[in-house]
Amino acid sequence: MKYTIQQIANFLQGSVEGDAGVEINNLAKIEEAKPGDISFLANPVYTPFIYRTGASAVIVRKDFKPEKPVKTNLIRVEDPYEAFSKLLGFYNKKHDKTGIETPSYISKTAQIGENVYIGSFVYIGENVRIGNNVKIFPGTFIGDDVNVGDDTLIFANVSIYHDTKIGKNVTIHSGTVIGGDGFGFVPSNGKDFKKVPQIGNVIIEDYVEIGSNTSIDRATLGSTIVRRGVKLDNFIQVAHNVEIGENTVIAALTGISGSTKIGKNCMIGGQVGIAGHIKIGNNVKIGAQSGVSHNLKDDEIVVGSPAIPIKQFKKSSIIFKNLDDLYKRIQKLEKELKKYKETDKS
């Protein structure tokens, strides 16, 4: 990477304050940057670093007003974080591979688009459809009748079972399993469990990102659905017949039980457990390590296990922190009451 500050500003639709001709060859954090680097300032916590950073340029908000002289050059934009993310995407060319490596297996009935990359030891089954510009990294398994949309990126050692439908611009990170059987068993004779066949599929819509080692189970009947724009972190379990609404984000180690429906634009923290057959509304926020066992309405914010409204949780936490003192006070009162009763009897 070697561009002038002006070229970068043009790319980001920003304006330059300083020497627009200085060349940039690297991206860096504002506190670690050196000459030739470009960084950004979005979080006010990092403001002190802009006065001593070694960066040749820093991306800042349009209305940023320094409290003292700034030695670096500035690129002013509407949203520094979004602008820097755009720059990161432009800088990252490591996934720009094309061609089909050997050994790999591609069924004769598979349809492969243009400008694709298929890495070594990839298996592509019967009647698979791979769109244009798709990148499939080594060791990945794609079962029969799978559809993969244009511009999708599938990293190494991903397993995609039969009948899965994946949209455009999807990113699936290593170790993820999509379309494995849902956890369906029925007791037999009060002792053994018999497996319930899982004959549905998984649908992943456009612009979804799925973190490493996440598992999305196929439906018993119908589809497990991850809607457009959903972002899933690493180590998430999505059970059979779950539906996750558009633009919902879910942090690591969350487990969603079967047939639960999650609305649009929700934010779910790490290590959350969600019971099955419940409905979570739109714009819901669930704090980390919460246990959700009941329906949640639109715009609710809950935390705790069992999950309760955040205002109620904050009040309860004050009491919880004082439980030891309250217990000691009760013990003291009981002793005094006992003495009073003994005195009264005498």
Which are the catalytic amino acids? Answer: 240
Which residues share a beta bridge with 232? 210, 250
DSSP state, 296?
B
In Å, how far are 70, 145, 295 from 51, measured between CA atoms? 5, 57, 49
Q: What backbone phi and psi angles, to 5 degrees, belong to 99?
A: 105, 165
Which residues share a beta bridge with 4? 23
DSSP state, 209?
E
Query: 14, 3, 10: which is closest to 61 by C-alpha?
Result: 14
Which residues share a beta bridge with 279? 261
SS3 sequence of 153-167: EECCCCEECCCCEEC
CA separation for the pair 16, 102 (Å, rounded): 48
Contact (Cβ atoms closer than 8 angstroms) between residue 246 and residue 264: yes
CA separation for the pair 195, 182 (Å, rounded): 10
Strands 26-27 and 23-24 turn out to be unpaired
DSSP state, 114?
S
In Å, how far are 25, 216, 330, 343, 344 from 339, measured between CA atoms? 81, 64, 14, 6, 8
CA separation for the pair 299, 346 (Å, rounded): 62
What's the residue count for the chain? 346
